[in-house]
Every structure is written in C-alpha cells, then in structure tokens.
Amino acid sequence: MSYCLNPDCQNPQNPAKTKSCQSCGTRLLLAERYRSIKLIGAGGFGRTFIAEDEYKPSKPRCVVKQFYPSSQGTSNPDKAAELFQQEAVRLDELGKHPQIPELFAHFEQDNRLYIVQEFIDGQNLAQELAETGAFREAQIRSILSNLLPVLELIHKEKVIHRDLKPENIIRRRSDDRLVLVDFGAAKYANSAALAKTGTTIGSAGYAAPEQSFGKAVFASDIYSLGVTCIHLLTNMEPFNLYDPLESEFMWRDYLVDNPVSEELAGVLNKMIQSSVKQRYQSAIELMPALDLSAGASNGNSAVPTPPSPSPAKATPQPPVEIASPSTIPANVPKNITLSGHSDTVISVAFSPDGETLASGSGLWDKTIKLWDVRTGRENLILKGHSDGVRSVAFSPEGQIIASGSADKTIKLWDVHTGEELRTFKGHSDAVFSVAFSPNGQIIASGGGSIDKTIKLWDVHTGQELRTLIGHTDSIYFVAFSPDGQTLASGSGFWDKSIKLWDVATGWQKTSLKGHSDGVRSGAFSPDGQIIASAGSTGDKTIKLWDVSTGQVIRSLGGRRSGHSQWISSVTFSPDGQTLASSSGDKTLKLWDVGTGKELQTLKEHSDEIFSVAFSPDGQTLATGSKDKTIKIWQVPQ
C-alpha cells in the first residue's frame, strides 16, 4: 500500500509500488526512496506517516513527518516552520542515543518540508495505560530510572523537550527500554534563550506553569515527567487531578486501591511543585533523591548517584549490605551486595589472587570498578570509555585489566594506579568480548554485527597480530584454551555457532553447531577437554561439547527445566566439577558437570543477570545484573 502525501488528495490510498498517485498525480516516493504506507497522526503543523525505506533490501520501516502549517490555518506559520527545522537539528544532535529516535533525513519536496526518523516499534505509555490500567509504584520507579538519564543528557546539550507526556514515551518492544519521542516542541536553551520569553508550547495539563508564559526551563521537563507519573498511577487526566482552589494536584486521593510509599509520594510532589524554586532543578538532582527513597523493603531499583568524575581512590563507602542469616533459607548461601554503578553491570571478573573483583557497566556509567572482595569496598574507578563496557578480563599475573566497549575500543589499565596504559583500535563495531591468553602475551577481542571479526593483539606493543574471519554475526564470547593453543568464539542469531581457531596460524579448526539461537557465552573447562556454551532467547540450553570430537556430551536445561529466559553467561568452577550459569530470568544456577543435574537455583537479584564468575579458589561466585548491583555468593557445599 502507498499513501499519497498530498494533503488535498481525495483518495490517498494507492497500490504498492505505484510511482504516482492514481487520484492526484503526486509523486509517492520521497527523495526517491521513502514510501509512505500509513497515516498515523495529524495536527496544526502537519502529518506523520509510517513509511518504508525502499533503498534498502529489507525495506525497514521509518517515520516521516510532513510540515504544512498554512494549509491547516496555523496562526504563526513562520514560527511553526522554525520549530520544524529545529526538530531536525535536535534529532541530528541527540538521535545517536539509543533512547532517542535517530534522524535519517531532512529535506524539501513539492514545497513541503520532511523529516525522516527511526521507527520505534512498541506502545506508548498512554496505550499501555489504556490496555493494562493504572501503574504500580514499581513501574513508576522503573520509568523514572529509565528516563532521568535521558533527560540529563538532553539538558546537558542545552535542550528542553517541553512536551513530556505518556504519548511521547514509547516502550520499545525489542528490549523494553523507554524511548523519548517528538522533539518538535524542543527548545535550545542557552543563557540568552532562557532569559527571553518565548512561544507558548506544550500539552495542556502536562506543561509547567512557567511554560504557559513562554518561560520554559530545565525544571519544566521535571514537572511534566512528574505529572505523567501521577497520570499513570491514577489513570486520571491531569485536569481532573488538579484543584484550582488549592493550586495543587490532589492525586493521592485517587490511590485508595493503589497506594504508594511516602518516599515516592514525596519525590513526585516535589517534581510537580508550581513554584520552580521548590521543584527539582534537574534530573541529576532528582537521581539521588530517588535512590534514597528506594528502600530495601520494596525491592525496587532506582537511579544511583553518578560516580566521581575521575579515576581515583574511592571515597569511603557505607557498609555493604549483608543479608541477615535469619532471613536466608538453609540451602541458600549468604551473599554480599555491592552497589555503586549507575547502569547495568554487564561483566565481572576476579583477579588471579581472588582479592579483587572488576566490574564493567553500561552506557549511563561507562566505568570499570575495582572492589575489595573481602570488605566489599570500592577501590578504584576506571574511566575512559565513551560508551558502555561490555567485557572485562584480568591478565594472568593480575597487574593489568583489559576492557572491551561499545565504543569499538579495547583498553588496558594498571590495576594498582588505575592508569590507562593503551587503547586498541581496529574494530568497526562494538567490542562484546575480551580475553587474555594464558601467557598474558595476547588479547583476543570479538566485534559486533557490523564487524563480525575476532582480532588478536600483542599486549606489549599494541599491534594487531591477525584478524579471524568466519562468523556471520556478533561475536559474543572469546575464550582461550588452558594451553593457549586454541581460541573458542560464539556468535549471534544469524550464525548460532561456536568456532575453534588455531591461535598460532589463525586457521579455523572446526565449527560446532547445535544451538537453535545465538550463542551468548562460552567457557573452556580447566582441563581444556570440554567447552560449555549458552543459548539465547530461542534456545535457553547449555551445551557441553567434547573438544576433541566436536560432539555434544549433554545439554543442560531446556523447555521443561533450567532457565526460563536467555542464558547470559556460563563459567566452570576451578576443579571443573561445577558449572554456573546466569540468566535473564534473574537466577543463578549451579550444575553438576558429570551428570548434568541441576544442583541449586539462587535468587537474589531483582532484574536480569548479565554475568557470572568463579573465584580462583572456587568458594565464591560473583554476578552482575541489570539491577545495577553485584552480588558475591558463598558457593554452597
């Protein structure tokens, strides 16, 4: 189906692949590549369409925004045109962020202006509210945790969104992350602009009082986000919640069947204060307040205070949270929780002496933290990556840490000083995995879906030794065999294989195939005779492979047992008798390698677990989670 872009067309529906409208003759392809297929919105400034990009073989969907204010009788078409141009500029500056739509194109055709941007597949929060009913406290905390870093980013770039409301927040179907859309009302707020009265823009009921007088400030977005939250909690429109005689929102009167904690109520009430001075001034000011209100009793994660600005000895931390023995069932080991990261803990690794734990975190954090395992104290923060840290590994002697990042680089760090020693550049996409060879002379790294390569690097010179080519998707793990002669690698959905490579020559020895989805993680047994591999969402199994024959010894878990979601990480105990696995189902499982029997399931994290590591003595496990914490577990005997 092709939809005509002429606002005056009486019959805009056309057959697919038609070049010109059969009713009015208007060209149906924008910029010779974008074909509109469905009208999804219209307003005073123009219309919005779902379109297909016919320039690409897969014809991916995108969103086309068409600007034509005069035909709709807009009172100030020049100002409307300026705002439309500004939206393109704002998207171009901000759209590289994964929670803001990316700008694809901005052009004029047939005397109309067009913006083409990324299509976000999902429901907006207004649709979600209509479908599921009033939100609970945990959902509101999750929304704030998800969106406050986005607000902090756009405010840092001197942009005020000015139209925050449920309709402009989309929950992306692929990863459940919230995406902030519609920057048509956004304002660039330098000091001169903030001092000047501007155009009144925003959605009635959600716009802050000062915004109604054309004086929007960064705190205006905080107000609108707060009103959005009370709307979602009460399932009542803001106009119905506001008492003009009292000049305040009486939202808690509508929570008889859905109460919230006093802590969260206090945060929301401060967000929606009519007086700008009594409101939170910024997202970064609100973050610690939300963190303090996230009591241990409700189990909800919150946005922690951002880490210190430079690599240095950490300031004294409060005592780590140690679970009370009286609350732990006899068959569950006691654990310690380490908090301090401000995003998902994607990777963890023990030092060879077992005294230090390294952890790498995602986009909003970008740091590696070093922890004292015995005390739970944070020793060092390593900063230098410009995107999330996907993998960390200690050198065999424990003096160096390697980190692989979504910024396409690998960095080496001095464990004792936190000094950045070297940066390896060569991958054309994110680096998902890094590993040291047993002699510490080589680093292996695996690239993302654009790259699809494994690179071997000389640790001391920083030179690229060779590139291993053969996978057809992202390389999610690389692991050296104990003798250092073989490298194993596992790849994503379009590949589904584990490959074994000869380190000396770079030749592929064999390809192990048996998973029905991507291979998220893998590890050699201590004797080098077995490889364990973990399947992704559509597989959910762990396979044990005989290295010499390439045959599956046994599969652990599956549809009726094991993990209920994708398996993020697997690791062998130092004696090779136990396998630990972590999963998106928030659990850590222990398996008997000899029998394949599940020994134990440990549940303490409040969100998906991304990584697991055994200590060198085999008595301790560490896990990193989307709940932004690390847990250190005593391995049950």
Which tens digits make up the pLDDT trace of 579-620?
999 999 999 999 999 999 999 999 999 999 999 999 999 999
CB within 8 A of 38, min separation 6: which ones?
Answer: 1, 3, 49, 50
State both tokens at 1.
Answer: 């189906």
Strands (E), 253-365: 321-322, 335-339, 345-350, 356-361
Encoded tokens for 58: 């897969």
Per-residue pLDDT averaged across 196-218, rounded?
A: 74
481-488: list long-range contacts, CB under 8 Å, 24+ apart. Answer: 481/524, 481/528, 481/547, 482/438, 482/524, 482/526, 482/527, 482/528, 483/438, 483/528, 484/437, 484/438, 484/439, 486/528, 486/547, 487/435, 487/444, 487/454, 487/456, 488/522, 488/524, 488/531
Show Cβ contacts of residue 259 under 8 Å, excluding neighbours closer than 6 positions: none
What percent of the chain is predicted at pLDDT more than 70? 84
pLDDT at 322 over 80: no
Assess whether 429 carries a catalytic annotation. Answer: no
- Please tell me which residue in 8, 78, 121, 163 is annotated as part of the active site: 163
| Strand order through the sheet with 29-30 | 29-30, 34-42, 46-53, 61-67, 112-118, 103-109
Q: Are 344 and 605 in contact (CB under 8 A)?
A: no
pLDDT tier for residue 291 given thresholds of 50, 70 and 90 = low
pLDDT at residue 443 in the model: 98
What pLDDT does 312 receive?
34
The 10s digit of each residue's pLDDT in 416-464 is 999 999 999 999 999 999 999 999 999 999 999 889 999 999 999 999 9
Q: Provide the residue type at 340 as one letter.
A: G
**pLDDT-derived band at 85, boundaries 50, 70, 90:** low
What one-character DSSP code corresponds to residue 56? S
Tell me what the mean pLDDT of segment 462-489 comes to: 95
Q: Mean pLDDT throughout 563-581? A: 94
Q: How far apart are CA 307 and CA 392, in angstroms?
A: 19
Q: DSSP assignment, residue 593? A: T
- In this structure, what are the phi and psi dihedrals at residue 43, rounded to the nearest 5 degrees? -155, -165
* Look-up of token digits 């105990």: 573
- Predicted confidence band at 284 (pLDDT cuts at 50, 70, 90)? confident
Q: With bands split at pLDDT 50, 70 and 90, how would you rate the model's confidence at 69?
A: low
